[in-house]
Structure 1
Amino acid sequence: MEIVVVGRHVEVPDRFRRHVEDKLSKVTQLAPRAQRVDVELTHERNPRQSEVSERVELTVRGKGPVIRAEASADDEYAALDVATTKLLERLRRARDRSKDHHRGPTAPPVDVLPPEPEPTPEPEPAPPALGEAVESTWGDSPVVIREKMHQALPMTLDDALYEMEMVGHDFYLFIDAETALPSVAYRRRGWSYGVIRLDAPVATTAHAV
C-alpha cells in the first residue's frame, strides 16, 4: 500500500513522514484492498487559530469506497493521532458492513423534502479538473473558497448515506439511481437524516458531479 504525504502551506519533515507510516500500518489489516492513503498536512497561518493550526486529512483509496478522516490541533502529531483514530473506526465500520451486506441495510429515518427548482446559474470561471482542488477569493473579500470536482455514478440513498458516513461529512451530493434527480443527503439530529432533491433529472448513464 502506497502512502503519499503532501503539505499545504507547510514543509513536511521526514520525521513526520516516518511517523505517518507507523500510524497507518493498521490500515491494510482493516482494508486489505486499499491501494493508497493520501495524507495532507495543512498549516493555518492565522495566529488567532493557533489551537487548530495544524490539520491532517487522511484519504484511503482502493477497490472500494473512498474513506476519509480529518482532524485539527496545535501540533501535527496530535492532529494525526485524532485523524487516525477516526479513520480506523470508519474502516472497521466499512469492513463490518461488507460482512453483513447480505442481510440487507437497515433504513434510517429520512426526511424527504419536495423537489426545488434549480436556480439559474450566473456565469462562472471554468471548473477545476477532476480530483483537483482550486482555491480562489470571493470577489474583493478576504474569503477563500476551495473548489473540487468529483466524478460519481448514480447510487441509492442507502449507499449515499453510507458514503457520507465514511468521509465524515454532514452532507453528501449524489445522483439518485431511482429518480435520476440530483440530491443532497444531510445529517439531522441523532441518527436521522434528510434528503433534498432538485427537479432536474439527469441521464443515469452519464457521470455526474
Structure 2
Amino acid sequence: MTLKPKLANLERRIGYQFEDPALLLQALTHRSFGATNNERLEFIGDGLVNAVVAMLLFSAHPSLDEGSLSRLRSKLVSKDGLAVIAKRFDLGSLLQLGTGERKSGGRHRDSILADAVEAIAGAILVETDFGRASAIVSQWFVEGVASLDTTSTRDAKTLLQEWLQGKGYALPQYTVVSVTGEDHNQQFEVSCHSDVGDLVTYGRASSRKKAEQAAAHDLLEILINE
C-alpha cells in the first residue's frame, strides 16, 4: 500500500481529514529525518492535549481534588499513556525516521510515538481552531479516562486522613524528627502520630514531603490491618 491510502486510513482512525495532507505528514516526521519535522507541532499539541485531558477529568470526576486530577492527567499524557494511543492509531508504521532511528527501533520507541500523537494534535489545531481540535482530540482519551482507577490516585496522607475522618478520629500529627546529610543530599526523618492506639510510625526520604508520605503509608497499613 502506498503512503497516500495509509494516511487516509490514519485520518479515519484519528477522526479528522486534513485539508493539507502535508501537515499530517509533517506531524509524523521525526527530527532525525530532516529539518522539516514535527517538533513545533508537538510543542502546541502538548498544550492542547493537556488542556483536553484536564477538562475530561474535571467533568468525569467532580469529587476529586487538584492533586488527584493532576496525577490522573499525568498517567494519560505521559510518554507511556500517549504511546498507547499511538499504537491504537498504528503510528509506528507511518513515522518518517532517519536511518539511524529506523535501524535502532524508533518506530516502536514510546517517546517518539508519544511525540507524534502530540504533533498530530498540534497539526489539527493549526488547521482548524481550538474548539474543533479539542473536540476531536478529546475522543482519543475518552476510553482512557473511563478506565482509570481513581482510588490509586490519592496519596497516602490523603487516604490516612480520609480513613481517620471516616472513623471520627482526629487528624494525624507529623513531626520532623531529624534532618541529616549535606545540603545537596539531605535525609529527612518524620514521625506520624495518631490518637488511635497512640500509634507512631516513621518515614525517611530525601524530602520532608516524601518522608511524611512514607510514615503515613505505614500508619495506614497498621490501622487497616488491625
Higher helix proportion, which one?
2
TM-score bracket for the superposition, by shorter chain length: under 0.3
Provide the TM-score with structure 1 as the length reference: 0.24
Please, what TM-score do these two structures have when normalized by structure 2? 0.23
Q: Please identify which structure carries the higher strand content.
A: 1
Structure showing greater radius of gyration is 2
